[in-house]
Amino acid sequence: MSAPAILTRDEYHLRIRQNVDALKARLKLPAFFASTDNRDKVLFYFMDRAVQIGEAAFRIYDLQLPLFILARVLCEDFFNIYWVSLAEANAKEYQKAAISEMAKILRINLTNKRARVRHISSKKDVTEEFLPKIISRITKGDRIKERAKTLGLSKVYDIVYRYNA
């Protein structure tokens, strides 16, 4: 088995451009775009993020730190998209985790009195009554390291994801 050819910077950029363009084309497919399936919605979200990150990489290709950050985000997205693609239940769990993250932010801001919840018509402060509803939306999500291990991608986590930390 021969070693893979080492690409020049321009060849590497061309491959990225081709992959970004292919993702853009896939996102425009009517069957994929119009799907109501949770898994397709989450996959669409991650594919759109990958396109945006790929486009951003072209603008900063000579800045090492932003590229490391983008590579780390893409790596985490890769773990998530692979996991979501395995089952509809995973897509639903991912959606719950996204809501949970927003609930955590809201809980912190309400607890630290940086925000208040008021009844629309009476203007009464109902923050204390609202907090339990917010807290009930918070779930314990698995860490990306555990997800990578579950998927059999520990090497990718250790070599690519952890390296860029």
Residue type, 46: F
65-87, pLDDT tens digit by residue? 777 888 888 889 999 999 999 99
- Cα(101)–Cα(38) distance, rounded to whole angstroms? 18
**pLDDT of residue 37 exceeding 90:** no
Rounded to the nearest integer, the mean pLDDT of the chain is 87
Q: What is the CA radius of gyration of the chain?
A: 20
**pLDDT of residue 132 exceeding 90:** yes
How many other CB atoms are found less than 10 A from the CB of residue 74?
A: 19
Helix, strand and coil percent figures for the chain, each rounded to 5: 70, 0, 30
**What mean pLDDT is predicted for residues 99-114?**
94
What is the reported pTM?
A: 0.69
- Cα(83)–Cα(39) distance, rounded to whole angstroms? 10
**pLDDT of residue 126 exceeding 90:** yes
**pLDDT of residue 60 exceeding 80:** no
User: What pLDDT, on the 0 to 100 scale, is given for residue 1?
Assistant: 61
Token readout for 73 is: 């985000």
User: What pLDDT, on the 0 to 100 scale, is given for residue 56?
Assistant: 84
User: What pLDDT, on the 0 to 100 scale, is given for residue 38?
Assistant: 86
The residue assigned the tokens 């730190």 is 65
